[in-house]
Amino acid sequence: MKKNFIFPGQGSQKVGMGLDLFNNYKLAKDYFNIANEIMNKNISSICFNGPDEELKLTENTQPGIFIIECILFDLINQKGIEPAYVAGHSLGEYSALYAADIFNFETGLNLVKDRSLAMKKTGENNLGSMAAIIGLNTEKIIEVCDSVSSGDKQVVPANFNSPAQTVISGSKIAVSEAMKQCKKIGAKKTIELNVSGAFHSPLMTKAKNEMKEKINAIKFKNPKCPIIMNVNASETIDISKIKINLIDQLDHPVRWVETINRFNKLGIKNFIEVGPNKVLKGLNNRINSEINTINIENSNQIEEIKI
Concerning whether 200 is annotated as a catalytic residue, the answer is: yes
- Name the active-site residue from 12, 44, 89, 90: 90
Beta pairing class for 292-296 and 270-274: parallel
Active site residue 90: yes
Rounded-to-10 torsion of CA 1, 287, 133, 125: 30
279: how many CB neighbours lie within 10 A of its CB? 20
Tell me the torsion sign for CA atoms 213, 211, 60, 259.
negative
Q: Is 91 in contact with 66 (CB distance < 8 Å)?
A: yes
Q: Is 41 left (phi over 0), alpha (psi -120 to 50) or beta?
A: beta
283: number of Cβ within 10 Å: 23
C-alpha pair distances (Å), 49 with each of 17, 276, 289:
9, 15, 36
Nearest of 224, 218, 237 to residue 112 by alpha carbon: 218
Query: Which residue is catalytic, options 116, 200, 201, 252?
Result: 200
User: How many angstroms separate the Cα of 270 from the Cα of each of 43, 74, 141, 200, 295?
Assistant: 33, 19, 30, 28, 11
> What single letter denotes the amino acid at residue 283?
L
Alpha carbons 60 and 116: distance in angstroms, whole number: 8
Q: Is the peptide bond before 157 cis (omega within 30 degrees of 0)?
A: no
Asked if 253 contacts 48 with a C-beta cutoff of 8 angstroms, the reply is no
Strand, helix or coil for residue 201: coil
State the Cα–Cα distance between residues 273 and 287, nearest whole angstrom: 15
Whether residue 236 contacts residue 242, with contact meaning beta carbons closer than 8 Å, is answered with yes
Query: Rounded to 5 degrees, what are φ and ψ at 57?
Result: -65, 135
Active site residues: 90, 200
